[in-house]
Amino acid sequence: MSDILAVEQLDVRHGLLQAVRGVSFSVTKGEIVAFVGANGAGKTTLFRTIAGAHRPTGGRILFEGSDVTALPDYRRVQQGIALVPEGRRLFMQMSVRENLQLAGEVGRPGRWDVKAVLEVFPNLAARINAKAGNLSGGEQQATAIGRALMTNPEVLLLDEISLGLSPAAVGRVYESLKALMETGTTILLVEQDLNRALSVAHRVICMLEGNIAAEGPVEEMTRERIMDAYFGLHRAAGAGA
């Protein structure tokens, strides 16, 4: 299968701090890839750079074979890359409907509209005219994912969608994601909850200090291998040997 997204030797700096160091990977259409790693490993920076919110200092990003590295964030959305940012970043003074409509009006044409989003997130139907700032955490997360879907993305980046949610709310969001995954949308997700990540992903990429420390299909990535990469133990073991 052809790659829908390819990241080649990507470097990203925040001032003096290099957050992402020469990261390369590719994703095929319909694949679900989970990014795991400790805080500060560079996952959020990597996602924001793919979405166009950060400019890389080196490397390139290819989307459907075209170099999109120089495109601003809003152009990448129009190309088919959508990010659900960490912290949701909804427009809190606007209603759920307005949040969804706004994204739908500028996004690509496709299957997602307000009705389709409400089918995936039925709990939003009763809250459609409520201000986003008055929603529960789970409802806000569902709105944030729905807002990204309204742009009809080919690649959906989900950054820490379970952050700050109760276990029940996380369960509901992931239940809805299963319906989304059946639509064949390519999904990259950052997730701290390893079990959740492994339950939905086809492939896992483990990041450490801005690098990819380990990657592979879910079946090959044992818990021990992931934890070793997560804490950098594979490096220590290599040095010891």
Partner 1 sequence: MTDWINSIVQGVLLGGYYALIACGLAFMFQVMRIINLAHGSLAVLAGFAIWSIAGHFGISPFLALLVVLPGMAAVGWLLQRGVLERSARAGLLVPLLATFGLAIVIDNVLFEGYGADTRSLAPFIDTLAYDSWAIGNIYIGQLSVLIFAVAVAMLGSLSLFLSKTHLGRAIRATAEDPDTVGLIGINARKVNVFATMIAMLTVAIAGMFLGMRATFMPYSGGAQLVFAFEATVIGGSGSLWGTLIGGIILGVAQTVGAQINPQGFLIAGHLVFLIVLVARVSMPFPSWPMLFSWLRRQPS
Binding site for partner 1 (CB under 8 A): 51-53, 72-74, 77-78, 82-83, 85, 89, 91-94, 98, 101-103, 105-107, 147-148, 150-151
Cβ neighbours, 10 Å, residue 102:
15
Which amino acid would we find at residue 167? Answer: P
The Cα 194–Cα 218 span in angstroms is 11
Q: Which is nearer to partner 1, 94 or 194 (CB)?
A: 94
Work out how close the CB of 61 gets to partner 1 at its nearest, in angstroms, rounded to a whole number.
Answer: 15
User: Do the beta carbons of residue 11 and residue 58 sit within 8 Å?
Assistant: yes
Work out how close the CB of 94 gets to partner 1 at its nearest, in angstroms, rounded to a whole number.
Answer: 6
Helices (H), 32-153: 43-51, 73-79, 96-106, 114-120, 137-149
Cβ neighbours, 10 Å, residue 65:
9
Q: Which is nearer to partner 1, 22 or 137 (CB)?
A: 137
Work out how close the CB of 163 gets to partner 1 at its nearest, in angstroms, rounded to a whole number.
Answer: 16
Work out how close the CB of 183 gets to partner 1 at its nearest, in angstroms, rounded to a whole number.
Answer: 19
Q: Which is nearer to partner 1, 51 or 206 (CB)?
A: 51
Work out how close the CB of 50 gets to partner 1 at its nearest, in angstroms, rounded to a whole number.
Answer: 11
Cα→Cα distances 237→74, 223, 225, Å:
44, 17, 12
DSSP state of 131: B
Q: Which is nearer to partner 1, 190 or 226 (CB)?
A: 190
Q: Which is nearer to partner 1, 97 or 235 (CB)?
A: 97
User: Do the beta carbons of residue 22 and residue 12 sit within 8 Å?
Assistant: no
Cβ neighbours, 10 Å, residue 6:
18
Q: Which is nearer to partner 1, 90 or 181 (CB)?
A: 90
Work out how close the CB of 74 gets to partner 1 at its nearest, in angstroms, rounded to a whole number.
Answer: 5
